[in-house]
Amino acid sequence: MEDSIAGPGRDWSIQDVARMAGTTSRTLRHYDDVGLLKPSRVGGNGYRYYDGAALLQLQRILLLRGLGLGLPAIAEVFQQHTDTVQALSRHLEWLRQEQERLSLQIRSVRQTIETVQGGGELMAEKMFDGFDHTRYKDEVEERWGKDAYAKGDSWWRGMGDDERQEWTARSEKLGQDWVAAAGSGVAAGSPEAQDLAKRHVDWLKSVPGTLAAETGGDVKGYVTGLADMYVADPRFAANYGGESGAGFVRDALRAYVEQNL
């Protein structure tokens, strides 16, 4: 925003706030109607005015909307996290993680463009940021047997390039959505987190060789064991923004399997 929030007693008209925040007066009035953003005062002419505290609240709303949260979920976050500075610090950490992720993608795409323009040979492992489906081979065989790994490996190698790219993109999107949900502050048992948990279990079921995919397999035990591993193993936790994010995934998955499996 181009104006300073500093200065006791200062406030801004609804038109000024809409202009600075890149939104509309109608949207701000709707936020008022649903109880998310009350004006600091209403003038004799009926115009709404917003002070610095209201602008901080609006910044949080816009950040959470950017994460894809609906207004009821945002209201839930506000009820659970009343400390504005702490909440914004969580958002800042998530934004930093997104910045790192986007930087990796930018470098990958730039390298692909340069390779194509130079007539060179594309290297798949660089195009997809070093994705290596064999990196957990020993652990998979130790935990779930060689047959589990062999089935998964055969399934992966049998894919075409487009199929691998699509599945990788799906996996990355799931991880990003988990990080975003953890950063937003919603509860692990919230509808948003439980929708993600269902997506996660469906994703596990799509991989041949896993107990989630096998008929009669212990899906509940398998998912719970994986959820614990996400927290215990830093390599897994990194996919969800670190130990804290992995803990959120674990709690959401545990709640989901208890209620649905």
Q: Where are the alpha helices (DSSP H) in the chain?
A: 14-21, 25-33, 52-66, 71-80, 84-117, 124-127, 137-144, 146-157, 161-184, 191-205, 219-232, 234-237, 243-260
Domain contains 244: yes
**According to the model, what pLDDT value does residue 135 have?**
46
Domain contains 224: yes
Contacts of 28 (CB under 8 A, 6+ apart): 14, 17, 18, 37, 48, 50, 58
**According to the model, what pLDDT value does residue 39 have?**
94
CATH code for position 19:
1.10.1660.10
In a shared domain, residues 241 and 151: yes
> What's the number of CA atoms in the CB half-sphere (13 Å) around residue 210?
18
**According to the model, what pLDDT value does residue 124 have?**
45
Residue finishing a domain among 41, 66, 91:
66
Domain contains 168: yes
Q: Are 227 and 249 in contact (CB under 8 A)?
A: yes
Q: Are 211 and 257 in contact (CB under 8 A)?
A: no
In a shared domain, residues 250 and 169: yes
**According to the model, what pLDDT value does residue 2 have?**
38
**According to the model, what pLDDT value does residue 3 have?**
43
- Domain hosting 243: range is 130-260
In a shared domain, residues 42 and 140: no
The answer, as to whether pTM is greater than 0.85, is no
Domain contains 84: no
**According to the model, what pLDDT value does residue 16 have?**
93
Consecutive 10-residue runs of the chain (261 residues): their mean pLDDT?
51 92 92 94 91 91 78 82 78 70 70 73 46 46 52 64 77 86 89 94 77 65 82 75 86 93 78
**According to the model, what pLDDT value does residue 251 have?**
94
Domain contains 216: yes
In a shared domain, residues 144 and 249: yes
User: Cα–Cα distance between 32 and 38 in angstroms, integer?
Assistant: 5
In a shared domain, residues 152 and 247: yes
**According to the model, what pLDDT value does residue 82 have?**
79
In a shared domain, residues 140 and 35: no
Domain count for the chain, please give it.
2
**According to the model, what pLDDT value does residue 8 have?**
56
